[in-house]
């Protein structure tokens, strides 16, 4: 069955969310709608819908005009076995002591590595992106420095690869949260696959807005691999929920965006410990 996409961009989060909500009511109904801040530093938001039948071009044009967006670009996606495609394209990733792999590459796991099993069918946040790899390398550096975390949380966890890495490093339970229930389900499945069902607790939450998170604060280690805007917005909450002497590892940042995030966290009471760059992306380790 073919799949059709309709994509557009516009400034301002509120306008993008309103357009996304309106897109959900289009006939034929989309099978999914996404609203994302673009990672190119442009300040634009992308709104997209997926359809099983060609979407109504006139209705899309009216929606775009009403919300101040560019015209929707409509495309038909080729029918592809995406799991097989991802398996062909994604190779294991080494990040310090951590080795991120799919089950099809289980025979490549080094004896001395900490293995993190992320299946190809769960391809977002696999460790192949520079931000995730950067966070794993930052964690590896903290461990090498002798840092020990007894209470860890992964905010915006995606596949929970960072939470899994912490749980395989230290014996305590690790919390993982994401605003997207699909990501939470994926995170739970990955916890099962890695034998960490009872030690990685996954919840749906925006930032720290969940009882499980508030009751377990303050945290020795906080991961947040999200985007510049949410990271800056979360700086005061990070300070409130980070233990004295704790660490935060932040990414989801283009190199040009890192200084603004550092400034926000220094103002909130953190100090920069380490800044690393991988490709176009920056990863920050800060102390509280």
User: 261 and 152, same structural domain?
Assistant: yes
CB atoms within 10 A of CB 36: 14
As a whole number of Å, the end-to-end CA separation of the chain is: 52
Query: Strand 219-225 and strand 242-254: pairing?
Result: parallel
Report yes or no: 284 and 261 within 8 Å, Cβ to Cβ.
yes
**Which residue, 18, 50, 48, is CA-closest to 32?**
50
Position 120 in a domain? no
Where residue 145 sits, what CATH number does that domain have? 3.40.50.150
Query: Strand 242-254 and strand 271-278: pairing?
Result: unpaired
User: 144 and 53, same structural domain?
Assistant: no
20-34, 46-60, 126-140, 262-276: least confident range: 126-140
- The pTM assigned to this predicted structure is 0.72
Domain boundary among 77, 105, 121: 77
**Number of independent structural domains in the chain:** 2
Residue 85, pLDDT > 90, answer no
Where residue 56 sits, what CATH number does that domain have? 3.30.70.260
In angstroms, rounded to a whole number, what is the distance separating the alpha carbons of residues 232 and 253? Answer: 11
Position 148 in a domain? yes
User: 153 and 58, same structural domain?
Assistant: no
Whole-number pLDDT of residue 38:
82
In angstroms, rounded to a whole number, what is the distance separating the alpha carbons of residues 205 and 182? Answer: 12
User: 37 and 164, same structural domain?
Assistant: no
Greatest Cα pair distance in the chain: 61
Q: What is the pLDDT of residues 218-252, one digit of tens each?
A: 999 999 998 888 999 999 999 999 999 999 999 98
User: 249 and 143, same structural domain?
Assistant: yes
Enclosing domain of residue 176: 134-287
Q: Rounded mean pLDDT of the chain?
A: 89
Whole-number pLDDT of residue 29:
86
Position 104 in a domain? no
């Amino acid at each position: 069955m073919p799949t059709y996409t309709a994509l557009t961009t516009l400034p301002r989060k509120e306008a993008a969310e309103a357009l996304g909500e309106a897109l959900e009511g289009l006939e034929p109904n989309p099978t999914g709608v996404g609203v994302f801040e673009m990672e190119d530093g442009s300040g634009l938001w992308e709104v997209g819908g997926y359809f099983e039948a060609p979407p109504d071009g006139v209705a899309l044009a009216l929606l775009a005009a009403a919300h101040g967006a560019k015209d929707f670009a409509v495309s038909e996606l080729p029918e592809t076995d995406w799991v097989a495609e991802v398996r062909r394209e994604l190779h294991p990733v080494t990040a310090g002591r951590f080795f991120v792999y799919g089950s099809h590459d289980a025979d490549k796991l080094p004896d001395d590595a900490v293995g993190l099993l992320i299946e190809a069918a769960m391809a977002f946040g696999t460790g192949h992106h520079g931000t995730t790899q950067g966070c794993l390398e930052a964690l590896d550096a903290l461990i090498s420095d002798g840092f020990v975390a007894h209470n860890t949380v992964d905010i915006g966890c995606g596949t929970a690869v960072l939470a899994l890495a912490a749980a395989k490093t230290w014996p305590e339970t690790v919390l993982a949260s994401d605003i997207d229930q699909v990501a939470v389900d994926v995170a739970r499945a990955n916890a099962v696959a890695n034998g960490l069902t009872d030690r990685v607790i996954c919840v749906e939450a925006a930032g720290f807005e969940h009882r499980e998170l508030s009751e377990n604060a303050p945290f020795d280690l906080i991961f947040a691999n999200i985007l510049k805007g949410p990271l800056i917005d979360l700086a005061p909450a990070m300070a409130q929920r980070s233990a004295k002497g704790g660490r935060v590892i932040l990414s989801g940042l283009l190199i040009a965006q890192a200084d603004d995030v550092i400034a926000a966290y220094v103002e909130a009471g953190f100090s920069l410990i380490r800044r690393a760059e991988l490709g176009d992306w920056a990863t920050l380790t800060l102390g509280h």
